[in-house]
Amino acid sequence: MNQELKPADISRAPIGVFDSGVGGLTVAREIMRQIPNESICYFGDTARVPYGSKSKETVTRFSRQIVRFLKTHQVKTIVVACNTASAYALDELEKETDIPIIGVVKPGAKVAAEVTKNGKIGVIATEATIGSQIYTQYIREINSNATIYGKACPLFVPLVEEGLWQDPVTDEIARRYLTELIDSGIDTLIMGCTHYPLIRSTIGRIIGSDVTLVNPAYETALELKNMLKERGLLNEEPPKLGSNQYQFYVSDAAEKFKQFANSIIKYGILSAKTVNIEDY
Ligand code: DGL
């Protein structure tokens, strides 16, 4: 049951973070770095990943269930750490949810619109995110002269999950995906999928050092920090010794998730619990 929190307790409540699987750990990692006093309740939908090839209706239904699950953990805010879920479901979730909820698309779009000098911005993401045109929409709200070049890069997700972060195969695929963006003369590139920051060095090397890479995970943690501060929700106290600061839940394959999580988060994740998300 979702018990009411007293106002004094709210800032100590965890931040709910969710993704279709392991990718959102890149966002959780930035939150851990930038606001280390905060507790996190993470949900990875490992049974139903990928979201990037699913419909808006399906991704919205999945996201609603996860929000209901996170709310049973009395989270003070929710971060939709998945670009696809942010693109497809955030508007609906915002309308339905009585706690602040932020996605990863707007923060990345905002920075890209501000840093571009020639107004040519590339976006790489899942098919769903590119098809939704959500980055284009947000960028144009800030910089109406910008030209946005979107490119779906579906193979990057399995390559990252297979651990091929520094591999000739990933180099070759990246070259094929990125050539048309290089040819279009972009000066800014948004890594609009949770997994892509993990192959940042490959993407950066191939796209060239003249192109500024924008990492929405980093920008989202920054925006989250500012939002919590403005609303008086930032936890000013360090977590108590022995407290369960970071909790991880998945819908399947908890052990595999734990191994992946430990390869990117240095904190040391001891357990991930499996949840039947269809119950929510
Ligand atoms: N987390 C997804 C995203 O950022 C990538 C993986 C998937 O397709 O579910 O869009």
* DSSP per-residue string spanning 198-224: GGHHHHHHHH-TTSEEE-HHHHHHHHH
Do 272 and 257 meet the contact criterion of CB atoms below 8 Å apart? yes
CA distance 90 to 125: 17
- Tell me the pLDDT tens digit for each residue of 122-179: 999 999 999 999 999 999 999 999 999 999 999 999 999 999 999 999 999 999 999 9
Task: Using alpha carbons, list the distances in angstroms from residue 211 to 16, 132, 178, 207.
Answer: 33, 24, 12, 7
pTM: 0.95
Ligand 1 and 126: CB distance under 6 A: yes
The full set of domains in the chain, from first to last, is 7-103+219-279 (3.40.50.1860), 105-216 (3.40.50.1860)
Residue with CA at minimum distance from ligand 1 atom 8: 52
pLDDT tens per residue, range 30-80: 999 999 999 999 999 999 999 999 999 999 999 999 999 999 999 999 999
CA 76, CA 70: separation in Å to the nearest integer?
A: 10
Neighbours of 47 (CB within 10 A): 17
Q: Residue 193 catalytic?
A: yes
Q: Which atom of ligand 1 is nearest to the CA of 125?
A: 10
Question: 3-class DSSP state for residue 41?
Answer: strand
Catalytic residue flag (residue 41): no
Going from the Cα of 23 to the center of ligand 1, the distance in angstroms, rounded, reads: 7
Q: Choose the catalytic residue: 193, 214, 217, 233.
A: 193
